């Protein structure tokens, strides 16, 4: 870890980048190894008159009185500081900058014998997705709705991709994740209908959704393949009444699982 003395000696632009990096590490790791160092870093930021008031005020609001180094209030305050620093340095936030959830955000695993819409009832299959962020986001959504099994085609980014792991926010270890062809995936899950979530289908709010199913979502650009559309027992769509004719695949999936859940309960 760089010393505060060394930090002060750096050229301003280099020091600014290093300060932003230290705040990032602090958020990710929960601490910087020493409360004394953390206090000195915050004092350095607060006293630097080159920084706008919002940065210096954000640094002053970071409360180090908690006995827990990774206290959620401290992390939230640091995240606000990071945002102001990024704006000052004109750093564009990226989807992989997400902060992992506080441990208290996790719930106990869903019991597949009693879950309403997810668990043993619904499985997901991701066909030819391109974005690892979308893969991870879908894993997180699946876990939130109680789905336990998610499969993906060989050309979809792996669930272990760093950006997928990041956007899954810790949900991946709670699910049965599998990658391979759809026929193999279907063999693993007997007696299920296949439902394709794709434009041009039945309004999902009016459809009678099967209790046990594999819900298929497709490529962000091309949608579900003709082969899987032909294989599907049902094709459903989210009705859109605005000027845009499509949704992000993860958003559409979240809506579909919510509708499924409402029908099951």
pLDDT tens sequence across 69-124: 457 778 888 988 988 898 898 876 555 455 554 444 444 443 333 333 344 589 99
CATH number of 107-264: 3.40.1280.10
SS3 236: strand
**Which has the higher per-residue pLDDT, 214 or 87?**
214
SS3 141: helix
Q: What crossing angle do the helices spanning 132-144 and 249-264 adopt, rounded to 10°?
A: 10
Residue in this structure with the two tokens 């910087």, named with its chain if needed = 32
The answer to whether the pTM exceeds 0.85 is no
Residue in this structure with the two tokens 């289908």, named with its chain if needed = 201
Domain boundaries, the chain: 4-93, 107-264
Residues above pLDDT 90, as percent of the chain = 59
pLDDT tens sequence across 219-243: 988 899 999 999 999 999 999 988 8
pLDDT at residue 56 greater than cutoff 70: yes
Q: Are 107 and 197 in contact (CB under 8 A)?
A: no
pLDDT band of residue 145 (cuts 50, 70, 90) is very high
Question: Partners of 234 in the beta sheet?
Answer: 195
What's the token pair of residue 17?
A: 């980048």
pLDDT at residue 152 greater than cutoff 50: yes
């Amino acid at each position: 870890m760089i010393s505060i003395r060394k930090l002060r000696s750096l050229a301003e632009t280099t020091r600014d980048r290093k300060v932003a990096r230290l705040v990032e590490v602090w958020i990710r790791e929960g601490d910087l190894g020493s409360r004394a160092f953390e206090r000195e870093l915050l004092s350095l930021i607060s006293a630097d008159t080159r920084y706008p008031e919002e940065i210096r005020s954000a640094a002053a609001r970071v409360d180090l009185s908690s006995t827990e180094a990774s206290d959620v209030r401290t992390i939230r305050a640091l995240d606000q500081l990071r945002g102001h620093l990024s704006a000052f340095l004109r750093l564009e936030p990226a989807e992989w900058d997400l902060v992992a959830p506080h441990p208290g955000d996790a719930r106990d695993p869903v019991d597949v014998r009693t879950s309403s819409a997810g668990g043993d009832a619904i499985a997901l299959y991701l066909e030819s997705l391109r974005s690892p962020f979308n893969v991870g986001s879908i894993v997180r959504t699946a876990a939130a709705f109680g789905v336990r099994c998610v499969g993906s085609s060989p050309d979809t980014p792996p669930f272990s991709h760093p950006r997928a792991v990041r956007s899954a926010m810790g949900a991946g270890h709670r699910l049965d994740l599998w990658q391979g062809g759809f026929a193999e995936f279907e063999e693993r899950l007997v007696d299920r209908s296949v439902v394709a979530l794709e434009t041009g289908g039945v309004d999902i709010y009016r459809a009678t959704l099967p209790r046990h199913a594999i819900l298929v979502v497709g490529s962000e650009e091309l949608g579900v393949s003709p082969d899987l559309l032909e294989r599907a027992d049902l094709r459903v769509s989210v009705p859109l009444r605005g000027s845009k004719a499509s949704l992000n695949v993860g958003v559409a999936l979240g809506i579909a699982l919510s509708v499924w859940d409402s029908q099951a309960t």
